[in-house]
Structure 1
Amino acid sequence: MKKKMLFIAFLAGFNCILVNAQVGNVGVNTVSPGSSLTVNGSFAATYRIVTASSAIGANDYYTAYNGTADGILTLPAAISGTGNFAGRTYHFKNTGGKTLTISAAGSELIDDQNVTGVGVPAITVPPGYYAFLVNKGTTAGTTWELVLVSSSNSMPSVNQAYLFSSAQQNAFKQTCIATTGSAWQKTEIKYNQGMEINTGNVLDVSSGRFKAPTDGYYMIYGSAQFDNSEISGQPGFTWCVLYLVKNFVTTPNNQLVQNFHTNPGIFASGIVSAVVHLNKDETVSMASAAQLNSGGAQYQVTATSIYGYKIAN
């Protein structure tokens, strides 16, 4: 230890900086270091830009990925005994336009606090995102802990975390078949006008169906306006109901939730929302049904919005 301190003092004198030590603490530009290492000044560590998949090494600290294709950066394998690097930290930033994957070595895992108690072999860092990891010192299982994944923007774009789709109509009115007998006539509501955000093309605006790209839990929300102001005679509604329906194309009566109105006049608004588990490729549609007090065969709906997004696996 004495030789090491003499060497540090020699380097300090050579570089015109002040290095002090007391009770095992080391200070740079301070005479009273209060921690094992106290630096009264700036701090620098390795900054590296990579453009292709590669391994992360002992000399890496902050790595920026700026590749033109998706890439994988692999963390170093755990070391047992001498050389164990518990507490080592790595910082990653995806500065390109492709997806970056941070992967643990071999069968090792990353603890991403996903409430399952089991780590994951890799994490995804979308474009514009930053990830911070620390080594746990373990040699099997979850050897790394994910401290933070965040975006450079205060408001991340909708496709960065979970698949999201939304459609909104402005003035288009969809003509629907009214119920005239005992069997209610349901009609899928479509979105062929207005704003559309459609990550992964999971919303079919021609049919009005939100299709799950993967198994998981989804939040679906929809709203619509029943409006007979342009139907001849402006008939009022005896009743009208707005639904969210699972797999409408095969089971149109598999309703998740409904919003019902009795004798609302010629106008009625409806809002429906539900959290639902969907298997891959299952769908949710917004649908309507109505009966007119004139016994007429048609009514109209102005769909204002629908959106869906994945909230959990």
Structure 2
Amino acid sequence: MKKMFFLPLMALLNSSLIYSQSGNIGINTSDPGSKLTVNGSFAATYKTTGASGPVDANDYYIAYTGNSNGTLTLPAAVSGSGNFIGRTYHFKNTGTATLSIAASGTELIDNQSGAGVASVSVPPGYYAFFISKGTVTDTTWELILLSSSSSLPAAASTYAFSTISTTTRQSLPATASGPFINAEINYPQGTVINTGNVMNTANGRFTAATSGYYMFYGSTQFDNGALAGAPNFAWAILYLVKNFSTTPNNVLVQSYQSNPGILVGTNVSCITYLNAGETVSMASAAAVTSGTTYQVVVSSFYGYKIAN
């Protein structure tokens, strides 16, 4: 008898918290204004993993704790019955390596770059939010948000970044007639930041890891004060050059100084599109009033990707 009384009582208490009105359902509210209104907290599955694997229908929020690169693969699209348009997944990389969120098979992810991608990289400390578009071919998922949990972007972001400087004097051959580029400026004192090892300090070349738009800024000081006789510059030019190793005359931008004496500082900057593997470096040319050599010192150069 006690059981028969207890069960109907519990059902009555529980049902008193759920309401229906005009096709809307409310939990803990008698006046739901949306299809589902919850007057209270909401909870979904929280999962941690340190290894690659599939994301399934029971997942919602996944924290990746791995110390080596891993890939979590989104569910394959479903046509017709069972299509899960609008399903969302949240990912947080709490590990120390790169997490990749990949679409299934030949499916793609719309990351607002103009073309779908097979996967999205989530660096350590970053969060990614995805939603199913309901489509079954091409871009079946949409990246809603990719952001850092820090107030500042992590240094190891998906966009390559490098900044370098040197106070070492570099001797370069002067131009006898007509301005042309003789050599790239290098940086024997190394890099301050070099995400993805995109900068080669020996030859001064920044190599694009992926295709996209890049911002570059460089500066140097033309200084003949340490050379015998301290010759004056007849002129001095600082360049940013694309693919110097194959086309050293492929100048992106230049700064020309006429009769600057024995000392002059100058800078150059530009935004350019690079295909993966293409390079940008800073180079110079100068003519002197005597001798065959000029020097640059206190040089700095940085580059970073700003968009796909």
TM-score of the two chains, using structure 1 as the length reference: 0.85
Is 1:189–1:303's contact at 8 Å kept on the other side of the alignment?
no
Equivalent residue in structure 1 for 2:242, among 234, 239, 246: 246
Within 5 A, what are the aligned runs for 1:14-163?
Answer: 14=14, 18-116=17-115, 119-163=116-160
1:209 matched to 2:205: yes
- Percent sequence identity is 56
Comparing 298-307 and 46-55, the one that deviates more:
298-307
3-state SS of 1:13 partner: helix
Please give the alpha-carbon distance, in whole angstroms, between the structure 2 residues aligned to 1:68 and 1:290.
Answer: 50
What is the match of residue 297 of structure 2? Answer: 302
Is 2:121–2:158's contact at 8 Å kept on the other side of the alignment?
no
Please give the alpha-carbon distance, in whole angstroms, between the structure 2 residues aligned to 1:92 and 1:187.
Answer: 47
Please give the alpha-carbon distance, in whole angstroms, between the structure 2 residues aligned to 1:38 and 1:163.
Answer: 44
1:197 matched to 2:190: no
Is 2:224–2:262's contact at 8 Å kept on the other side of the alignment?
yes
What is the match of residue 165 of structure 1? Answer: 162
1:235 matched to 2:231: yes
Deviations along 1:56-112, one digit per CA (max 9) or x if unpaired, are 222211111112322222222223333322211111111111222222223322222
Please give the alpha-carbon distance, in whole angstroms, between the structure 1 residues aligned to 2:147 and 2:280.
Answer: 31
Please give the alpha-carbon distance, in whole angstroms, between the structure 1 residues aligned to 2:94 and 2:236.
Answer: 51
Instruction: Name the amino acid aligned to 1:246.
Output: K
What is the match of residue 3 of structure 1? Answer: none
Listed as ranges, the gaps of 5+ residues in structure 1 are 1-6
Listed as ranges, the gaps of 5+ residues in structure 2 are 1-6
3-state SS of 1:200 partner: helix
Deviations along 1:99-131, one digit per CA (max 9) or x if unpaired, are 222222233222222123xx2232222221111
Deviations along 1:22-49, one digit per CA (max 9) or x if unpaired, are 2122222223221122122211111011
Please give the alpha-carbon distance, in whole angstroms, between the structure 2 residues aligned to 1:174 and 1:264.
Answer: 19
Instruction: Name the amino acid aligned to 1:297.
Output: T
Please give the alpha-carbon distance, in whole angstroms, between the structure 1 residues aligned to 2:249 and 2:108.
Answer: 44
Q: Does the C-alpha gap of structure 1 residues 303 and 11 become closer, same or farther in structure 2, counting only changes over 3 Å?
A: farther
Q: How many residues align?
A: 301
1:188 matched to 2:188: no
What is the match of residue 220 of structure 2? Answer: 224
Instruction: Name the amino acid aligned to 2:194.
Output: N
